[in-house]
Amino acid sequence: MRIADILAAKGSDVATLPPDATVADAVAELGRHSIGALVVSADGATIDGIVSERDVVRRLGADRHGLLARRLDTVMSAPVHTCAPGDDVESVMATMTEQRVRHVPVVRDGRLAGIVSIGDVVKSRIEELQQERKLLVDYISAR
């Protein structure tokens, strides 16, 4: 299965905010969209960074009172691990595991084309395994 298959099922919409938006803006957007990460992008097409719930929580201990007013470019993770629509799900899952990231933006021709989460790749892998199981059961039953 390819990343493009996941995007075909879930859509390619990506929530973005510019680097000069505040952490408060990001927290509001994360809640509004019920998502775990936003791509930080000045133009909505190129990737400057990514900010996740994890980034916000990790900063709370160090800057409890001023965090919400800080600019995203001071708390975002960069550089960002990305993938392409043609990448296979297993390789992206391996990247997520090795790099300890839960969200990977999808880039096509240098432009933001979608985003996949660890939940998206696990769901697709489970569906793939269930399909393989069904094929094997059907094959065994036909003998």
Please report which confidence band the pLDDT of residue 135 belongs to, taking 50, 70 and 90 as the band edges.
confident
In angstroms, the CA 113 to CA 20 distance is: 22
What are the beta bridge partners of residue 105?
115
CA neighbor of 81 nearest in space, from 61, 60, 101: 101
Mean local confidence (pLDDT), 102-125: 95
| CATH 3.10.580.10 correct for 3-142 | yes
Which residue type does 60 have? L
Dump pLDDT digits (tens) for 34-88: 999 999 999 999 999 999 999 999 998 888 889 999 999 999 999 999 999 999 9
pLDDT of residue 40: 98
Q: Is the pTM of this model over 0.85?
A: yes
The kind and range of the H/E element at 39 are strand 37-40
How far apart CA 28 and CA 134 sit, in angstroms, is 43
